[in-house]
Amino acid sequence: MREGGMSKRYASVTGRIVPVDEVSVSVFDRGFLYGDGVFETIRVRSGRCIRLNRHVDRLRNGLGVLSIADPFLNVDIETAIGELLEANRQTNARVRVTVTRGEGRPGKIGASEGAPTVIITSDDLADSPPEPARAIVASIRRDENNPLSSVKSLNYLPSVLARIEAERAGADDALLLNTRGCISDGTVGNVFLIQGEKLLTPALSEGPLPGTVRAAVIEMARDLGFDVLETSISLQEISKADEAFYTNAIQLVRPICSISGSMIGNNKHIASARIREALLALEE
């Protein structure tokens, strides 16, 4: 049951609020044909978009890298999200903003003459703390030298394949290494290790997506008693970790209890729970 007892769902399609069962995208849309676009997933609590400025900055950076026109120059993205939340009667939600290059001519993969396609959807927010994840090390690698590693693009195949590999192995998630064999990130989040008072996370030069919660954790870490190291992290460092966790915009913090069957630390996740509580406090 949706908030307010409402079952009908709506989406925002290039500025129009439309029932989701009436939404259509052209078969020639570049996002559909080539994964030619970007997206953001935004946490909404009590009607407020959390870390919206960070999401918008990353979205615009991605649009710039891909040379896609910014559809929000004359449209307030927060207003557009608010209108959708009102239509869906939601105050706590998981919102996804998707921007594609728009419709193109068949067979043409260069620049598009059309306007970008913008689709905003929302789902109810599942806000209970996530269960600790059992992870594997995926066989597919991130390419830290690819400038697209900083773009949250619609081509999410490395993460999709890594998650499928994890599920087939009976795990919940995966770590992705870069081409040098160092830790890059997870399938849908950044990775942190805790070693005593040190909080380690792969530097952006290692290929991870510049996560919005990653940045927030780095900013608050010193106040929580941690020394942050953005660095290159080998798999061997995991054996020295007291705790490990993923971060992303929706779950905030998800502890990692094991990697490839090896338990991490004492498996109590005390520090990661404290970091999640600090992030929740920022939402008040």
Report the CATH number at residue 37. 3.30.470.10
Name the domain boundary from 92, 124, 156: 124
Mean pLDDT score of the chain: 94
Stretch among 45-54, 110-119, 141-150 having the lowest mean pLDDT: 110-119
The pLDDT assigned to 267 comes to 85
**Do 110 and 236 sit in the same domain of this protein?**
no
Please compute the mean of the pLDDT values over residues 148-152 and round it to a whole number. 96
**Do 164 and 268 sit in the same domain of this protein?**
yes
Instruction: State the total domains in the chain.
Output: 2
- Distance, in Å, from the CA atom of 198 to the CA atom of 228, rounded to the nearest integer, reads 6
**Do 234 and 178 sit in the same domain of this protein?**
yes
Name the domain boundary from 124, 143, 162: 124
Please compute the mean of the pLDDT values over residues 173-188 and round it to a whole number. 98
Which percentage of the chain shows pLDDT scores above 70? 98
- Distance, in Å, from the CA atom of 5 to the CA atom of 228, rounded to the nearest integer, reads 45
**Do 116 and 152 sit in the same domain of this protein?**
no
pLDDT band at 126 (very low <50, low <70, confident <90, very high): confident
More confident residue, 257 or 3: 257
**Do 137 and 233 sit in the same domain of this protein?**
yes
Name the domain boundary from 124, 157, 185: 124
List, in order, residues 6 or more apart from 17 with CB less than 8 Å away.
10, 11, 83, 84, 87
Note down the domain range covering 149. Answer: 133-281
Residue 32 backbone dihedrals phi, psi, to 5 degrees: -70, -40
Please compute the mean of the pLDDT values over residues 154-166 and round it to a whole number. 97
Model confidence at 105: pLDDT above 90: no
